[in-house]
Amino acid sequence: MENHNSNSVPGWGSQDLRHLSPETFAEIGMPNIVYVREVLAAELEDELGAQVNIPAGTKLFAVHAANGQRMAVLDDRRAAFDGARQYELEPVSVH
C-alpha cells in the first residue's frame, strides 16, 4: 500500500492558497462566491461622505467579490444574502 503525504501530492494545498493574490484567488473557480461582512457606517464615511446620512455606529452589511471589491452595502444581513442569491451568487459570512 502506497502512503501519500499531502505535502507530496501535486495540486493546491493550503500553503499554496495563502500566497495567492486576491485576483488569482477570484479566478480559480470561485467567481460565484461573495463574502458578506458586518461593517459600521463610520468605516464607510470617507468613501461615501455626505451621500448618506447614517449615524456612525449603524451596523451595515457589505457584500464583497472574491477579489475583495465591494459590490454592495445593505442595512440588513438577510437582504445581503438574499440579494446575492438573486444574482446566482453564493454568499458566505466573514467575521
Domain residues of the chain, as ranges? 33-94
What are the angstrom distances between the C-alpha of 47 and each of 28, 41, 52, 65?
Answer: 30, 10, 10, 18
How many residues are present in the chain?
95
Alpha helices in the chain (DSSP H): 14-18, 22-27, 41-48, 77-86
pLDDT computed for residue 15 by the predictor? 54
When pLDDT is cut at 50, 70 and 90, the band that residue 61 belongs to is very high
Residue with cell string 461582512:
37
pLDDT computed for residue 53 by the predictor? 81
pLDDT computed for residue 31 by the predictor? 72
